[in-house]
Amino acid sequence: MSLTASLNSSLAGLRAAQAGIDVVAQNVANATTPGYTRKSAPLESQVNLGVGTGVQRGEIIREVDLRVLRELQTERGNTENLRVISEFLANLDQFFGRPEDEVSVASAVNDLSTALAALADTPEDTAVQRSAVTAADQLAGNLNRLSDAVQSLRQDADDAIRADVDEINQALAEIEDLNLEIAARERTGRSSADLQDRRDVLVGEIAGRMDIQTFTRGGNELVILTASGRTLLDVTARELVFDGRGPMTPDALYNTDASLRGVGTVMLVDDSGSYDLLARGEISSGSIAGYVELRDRLLPEAQDQLDELAHQLALALGAGVVPGTPVTRTTATTLADGTYPFDGLGDKSGNAIQFTIDGVTYSAGDLPIYAASDPGGADAAVEAAIRAALDDNGFEDIEVAVATVGTDHEITFSDPGRHDITGLTFTGSAAIGSPATAATIGPDLSTEATGIDVANIVNPGDSLTVTWRDPATEQPMSITLKAVRPPAEEADQFVLGATAGSTAVTVAQKLAGLLPEGLEVSLSGTVLTFSDADVDANTPNLMAVSITGQAAADTSLPVFADGEGTDQITYTGLDGSGSAKRGFAQRIAVSDGILDDPTALVRFAVDAQGTLSDSGDPTHVLDMLDRLTSRTYQLDGGLGLGSRELTIEDLSVAIVSFQSNQAADQEDRYSFQDGILESVERRFDDQSGVNIDEEMSDLLLLEQSYNASSQILTAVQSMFDALLQAIR
Amino acid sequence: MRISTFAQNTLVKQNILRLQNEMLRAQNQLATGKTADTLGDLGSSASLSLSLRNDLNRIAQSGKTIAIAETRMEVMQSSFERIHENAEGLSLDALTGAFQNDVRLPTLQVTAEAMLQETIGLMNRSLAGRFLFGGSKTDAPPVEDADTILNGDSATGRFGLLQQIADRARADQVNDVASPGGLDVSTDTGLGTLTIADTSKDGFGFTIESVETSSGITVTTTESATAKSVTLSGLAAVPADATLTVVVRLPDGETAEIEVTADGDFGTGLANLANNLSEDLVELAQSQLAAASAIRAASDFFDTVPPKIVTFDAGGAPSLVEDSATSPKAVWWYAGSTGDTPRAEVAAELDEGTTIRYGVRADEAAVRDTLKHLAVLSAVTFEDDEVEMFRALADKSGRGLQSAMDRTETLINEIGAIQEVTLSVEARNQSVKTLVQTQLGTVEDADAYEISTRLLSYETQLQATYQITGRLQNLSLVNVLSF
């Protein structure tokens, strides 16, 4: 043992204490740095050749619970996800305005209906007309504004995804570098604690944006995978690519098929190519997931709801609103209606008339006797007798009239096309003057064909009926197809096309599948031709084809149209390729015709010649009011509002309350999740953060140990001094 | 457990921020009196709030609608009450004049003309620029002015009621002494027959209903589509007590009767009988027929739009035709709408599901008949020798006005019933409005007391937090240790 050894030991003590103070100073300085973890440098006794030679500071290490760190990263991802959704929806909610300001779209619909109610009182007052037009204009403007807001929020979300992807790429590149540095330091036994802190911060940044898994390999090298297990960083960082598209429109939607995709997606690029991470929902947490949810689901849903409202509104207040005179067009193929002359009913008893309907012969027998000098009396008697026979046999719907024409008497049957009147014969004794002649009528037993123009089928509810006689039962059978708007289509319905031609094609196809064997339908332009190739009694015989619908002569202008100015077109809910509904809320506008002349809101054609109604006639206005507030319409089921029937007013309320409820729900979810994140953060910080008191007490110890070592040095020095003094 | 200084500070910071946020919100609520800034803040109550606000708007609009409808109906009622009052007075005058007092007859005409003008004025009343009695045609007065109706429109050359009456009188052969009212009386002394013949069964003039005679005279009626004649035979020697009673139908649908006896100014015999009959027919034509002809002419003029007018062919034969819409000859008195349902032409939606239809038009029977009879009385002038005619006319018009009065009463009652509906909706609106406002208050309004309490507790909390923060700041080893 020597004094030198003591000297060396105390020197080591001084060094160790200094290094310790160094660590404490570092800790205290970073006490409020986010992401900083407390460092410590444990003391180790210094042993040289089995002999203790003092003390040394070990490598600086971090105090981190990796389990809590991972939990923290997961929760941060979940919180970010909810935060962006909640923020965006709150933003959208702002557009609906304060409840008492009544600027929401529901209030706008309500305003329109009150304006129409006022107009019904004084239809001719131009100021009231103008205010109704203004209400309609504001409603359209409200829808446009909301729709624009939805799209601009989608654009913001899209931009944010791009920014997040850039951040992730930068973080990955930095982590790649840090991995190398940390490995190098580990190899040379130097501390990598601060670098690891930095790396954790970067991983945290990535985890806030998308969900990832991490693990460390030898050399403290961090590997990052996506939640689904795709490599993001393993030695080298892979690159994420966001392939943005053009400006955001309601039509721009996500699709797993890249050629149909209207918005950008997040692609993972590696040596083997690129892979769409959104296709199977491989990003389910973090802000990117939130933005994607907003851009591709929540905001398009809001757009769809607005579109549905605009769509229902435009159609309800569209052309053909006026209850025009219903028209019935009938084409009968048999000689059901017709005038059949008979001659000289005579004045003898035993006269009878027989007629055949739907294959069964009935008789109006024992016609009363009338003098030939009283032709009017004879006609009335014959008519009464036939009428009675028709009524007795359940043919109340067939009309019969008998009249004197010249020297003949004519019987006219009119039937609505449901029956097949095939024969009329007279029997009886000879009449004065001329004998009773038998007049027989019936269908011409040759190939029958009849054409009917379906160009007039333009409104939902219009229908087409084909009637034929069933050979087995000899009873008339019929099918009726009803026009509906897309997309609903049931067995007895067909969808209206954008043009009369396309409607006709649909009708023809539908009919071809429904008509019995033996009856055929062909199409030329808008004319459907029905043919009955074989009219014998053993096959179905075509009887009648009829179209029933609303008058097409109505010229009242639709209140709302698609687009503005010279681009304005009539809104039908359809375009060349399908539905024009998507994005209609962005384009809806008051028809130019109405803007130019508000009286068009009141007046309508009262007849086929287009004569306009009086300016004070409230019929049209009341009808529009009814459509707006009382009549219910079937909603498209996929809107989050349920598949149900609502009035337009209720629909607007349902949309606003759906959106505001959704915003409130997301806000709740976010603040709950934020609470979870806070508690995990505190747990992590408490474990790994710096406590100044702790550092101070450490400092006290270090100071004392430093003092003590200096005392020893002083003691050794005085010993050396004493020794040297003794020698001198 | 160890506490990180950073975490502790962050916690305090977050707590303070949260409290400040809550305080701000509470202050806002206190200042605005509303619980929510956006519909989203209302959460699940948003839909209720929207619906209630819609209800309030609807009630407000309903109030305006009711006010407008009530004003209009009030005006309608007062107009009809006035018409009723006028008709009542004039019909009494007319009926009294007809049976008693010739002196009142001339004033009758003057009064009628004044009332005609007043009635037309009432029907042409406009309220806030809207003509009330033209149905859905509200932008022009529905009824022509009295002068045009009576005298025609010289600018367009269309004739009025005076001309219509004159035409009809000509067609009815009112002043034709040869064949009064289109009836010819002839005798055949050889056969001993007397024939009354209506040679043209055209609906003008007299139409023979029946002829009754004292015993011994045979009546034979021959009728075809175009003519009717009654032949009385057995009159070769006219019995001294022979009487005939001829009943004729007048153009206004009423009947008149003449009784003729064989003795008279013309001596006895067949010729005398025939002369007496002719004489009486001429008299009847100039009194009853003339009055009935004027009434019929007015009915044709007023009952339909376009009116029916009398035209004469080259031979002078009259026929009744509808005035041409493209080149009208007569004044058309009514210019309003002509739909089948006058009530439906003015409507108001008072409430969801309650629509009142309260249109009343000047061409409704009540008004039309009043106008018709007032116009006839104004149009027909009379000379001293025409008193009988005017008396008959006053009788007919007096009765006509009375039946028009009944119709006016029905109309007044009908509008009254609609007013009842309006009043009940108004009452309902009031009670619903109170309910809705209360409910809206509970949804949207903030309770000031509750918020003040909340605000106070936030304040206490915040103060406590500040104090703790301050103390914690001092509670550090740094302050205790002296290095």
Model confidence over B343-357: pLDDT tens digits? 888 888 888 778 888
Of the pLDDT bands very low, low, confident and very high (cuts 50, 70, 90), residue A96 is confident
The reply to whether A344 and A418 lie within a common domain is yes
Decide: A514 and A479 in contact? Cβ < 8 Å. yes
Who has greater pLDDT, A361 or B142? Answer: B142
Decide: A206 and A164 in contact? Cβ < 8 Å. no
Who has greater pLDDT, A323 or A612? Answer: A612
The reply to whether A381 and A410 lie within a common domain is yes
Q: Which chain A residue's Cα is nearest to B40?
A: A660
Instruction: Assign 3-class secondary structure to A505-532.
Output: HHHHHHHHHHCCCCEEEEEECCEEEEEE
CA distance to partner chain B, nearest, from residue A596 (Å): 20
Q: What is the pLDDT of residue B376?
A: 93
Q: What is the pLDDT of residue A157?
A: 93
Of the pLDDT bands very low, low, confident and very high (cuts 50, 70, 90), residue A321 is very low
Q: What is the mean predicted confidence (pLDDT) over A431-455?
A: 42
Of the pLDDT bands very low, low, confident and very high (cuts 50, 70, 90), residue B300 is very high
The reply to whether A486 and A414 lie within a common domain is no
Q: What is the mean predicted confidence (pLDDT) over B218-227?
A: 84
Residue B54: its chain A contacts at CB < 8 A?
106-107, 110, 649, 653
Q: For residue A582, give both structure tokens.
A: 């998507």
Q: Which chain B residue's Cα is nearest to A30?
A: B6
CA distance to partner chain A, nearest, from residue B216 (Å): 33
Of the pLDDT bands very low, low, confident and very high (cuts 50, 70, 90), residue A445 is very low
Domain annotation covers residue A167: no
User: pLDDT tens, B394-429?
Assistant: 899 999 999 999 999 999 999 999 999 899 999 989
Residue A104: its chain B contacts at CB < 8 A?
39, 50
CA–CA distance, A499 with A496 (Å, rounded to integer): 8
The reply to whether A421 and A461 lie within a common domain is no
Domain annotation covers residue A657: no
Number of domains in chain A: 3
Read off φ and ψ for residue B329, nearest 5 degrees: -100, -30
Q: What is the pLDDT of residue A455?
A: 67
CA distance to partner chain A, nearest, from residue B39 (Å): 6
The reply to whether A417 and A469 lie within a common domain is no
Q: What is the mean predicted confidence (pLDDT) over A150-175?
A: 94
Residue B353: its chain A contacts at CB < 8 A?
630
The reply to whether A460 and A530 lie within a common domain is yes
Question: Could you tell me which residues come within 8 angstroms of residue B363 by beta carbon, excluding any fewer than 6 positions away?
Answer: B142, B305, B334, B336, B338, B342
State the sign of the Cα–Cα–Cα–Cα dihedral B118, B120, B126, B129. negative
Q: What is the pLDDT of residue A487?
A: 54
CA–CA distance, B395 with B400 (Å, rounded to integer): 8
The reply to whether A450 and A535 lie within a common domain is yes
Q: What is the pLDDT of residue A348?
A: 46
Among A93, A104, A682, beta carbon nearest to B7: A682
Domain annotation covers residue A217: no
CA–CA distance, A532 with A333 (Å, rounded to integer): 10
User: pLDDT tens, B321-341?
Assistant: 999 888 899 999 999 888 888
Q: What 3-state DSSP class applies to B155?
A: coil
CA–CA distance, A277 with B390 (Å, rounded to integer): 104
Pairs of CB atoms within 8 A across A/B: 208
Residue B481: its chain A contacts at CB < 8 A?
696, 699-700
Question: Could you tell me which residues come within 8 angstroms of residue B121 by beta carbon, excluding any fewer than 6 positions away?
Answer: none
Most B CBs within 10 Å: which of A86, A690, A691, A698, as the mutation test of the B interface? A691
Looking up tokens 């986010």, which residue turns up?
A34
CA–CA distance, A385 with A405 (Å, rounded to integer): 19
State the sign of the Cα–Cα–Cα–Cα dihedral A175, A179, A185, A190. positive
Q: What is the mean predicted confidence (pLDDT) over A492-507?
A: 74
Who has greater pLDDT, B10 or A411? Answer: B10
Most B CBs within 10 Å: which of A98, A612, A694, as the mutation test of the B interface? A98
Among B2, B139, B478, beta carbon nearest to A615: B139
User: pLDDT tens, A5-17?
Assistant: 888 888 888 888 8
Q: Which chain A residue's Cα is nearest to B482?
A: A700
Among A106, A614, A622, beta carbon nearest to B50: A106
Q: Which of A62-76, A423-437, A625-639 has the lowest mean pLDDT?
A: A423-437
Residue contact A664–B47, C-beta within 8 A: no
The reply to whether A379 and A450 lie within a common domain is no
Domain annotation covers residue A355: yes
DSSP state of B45: G
**pLDDT over 90 at A361, yes or no:** no
Residue contact B135–A31, C-beta within 8 A: no
Q: Which chain B residue's Cα is nearest to A668?
A: B43
DSSP for B398-430? HHHHHHHHHHHHHHHHHHHHHHHHHHHHHHHHH
Q: Which of A18-22, A596-600, B262-266 has the lowest mean pLDDT?
A: B262-266
Q: What is the mean predicted confidence (pLDDT) over B68-72?
A: 91
Q: What is the dihedral of CA A496, A502, A505, A510, to 10 degrees?
A: -20
Domain annotation covers residue A31: yes
Quote the domain boundaries for residue A39.
Answer: 3-57+690-727
Q: What is the pLDDT of residue A551?
A: 41
CA distance to partner chain A, nearest, from residue B450 (Å): 21
- B196-211 in b/e form (b: 16+ CB < 10 A) is bbbeeebebbbbbeeb
Decide: B138 and A615 in contact? Cβ < 8 Å. yes
CA distance to partner chain B, nearest, from residue A671 (Å): 11
**pLDDT over 60 at A112, yes or no:** yes
Among B34, B137, B353, beta carbon nearest to A616: B137
CA distance to partner chain A, nearest, from residue B41 (Å): 6
The reply to whether A461 and A513 lie within a common domain is yes
Who has greater pLDDT, A683 or A354? Answer: A683
The reply to whether A355 and A410 lie within a common domain is yes
Residue contact B349–A625, C-beta within 8 A: yes
CATH number at residue A398: 3.30.70
The reply to whether A527 and A487 lie within a common domain is yes
CATH number for B180-286 (one of 2.60.40, 2.30.230, 1.10.540, 2.40.50): it is 2.60.40
Of the pLDDT bands very low, low, confident and very high (cuts 50, 70, 90), residue A331 is very low
Q: Which chain A residue's Cα is nearest to B127?
A: A122
Q: Could you give the C-alpha distances from B85 to A47, A200, B401, B416, in angstroms and in order? A: 134, 100, 11, 17
CA–CA distance, A633 with A495 (Å, rounded to integer): 17
CA distance to partner chain B, nearest, from residue A622 (Å): 8
Residue A512: name the closest of A504, A522, A499 by CA. A522
Among A120, A122, A661, beta carbon nearest to B130: A122
The reply to whether A408 and A451 lie within a common domain is no
DSSP state of A285: S
Of the pLDDT bands very low, low, confident and very high (cuts 50, 70, 90), residue A328 is very low
Q: Which chain A residue's Cα is nearest to B61?
A: A114
List chain B domain ranges: 180-286
Residue A481's beta-bridge partner residues?
A464
Q: Which of A608-622, B113-127, B411-425, B453-467 has the lowest mean pLDDT?
A: A608-622
**pLDDT over 90 at B367, yes or no:** yes
ipTM associated with this complex = 0.71
Residue contact A117–B61, C-beta within 8 A: yes
Mean pLDDT, chain A, rounded, equals 78
Q: For residue A522, give both structure tokens.
A: 């062909």
Residue contact B346–A618, C-beta within 8 A: yes
Q: What is the pLDDT of residue B161?
A: 94
Residue A629: name the closest of A109, A76, A40 by CA. A109
Q: Which of A548-557, B45-54, B284-293 has the lowest mean pLDDT?
A: A548-557
Q: Which chain B residue's Cα is nearest to A120?
A: B348
Q: What is the pLDDT of residue A429?
A: 39
DSSP state of A452: E
Domain annotation covers residue A640: no
Question: Could you tell me which residues come within 8 angstroms of residue B219 by beta carbon, excluding any fewer than 6 positions away?
Answer: B211, B212, B213, B230, B231, B232
Residue B348: its chain A contacts at CB < 8 A?
117, 120-121, 618
**pLDDT over 70 at A128, yes or no:** yes
**pLDDT over 60 at A611, yes or no:** yes
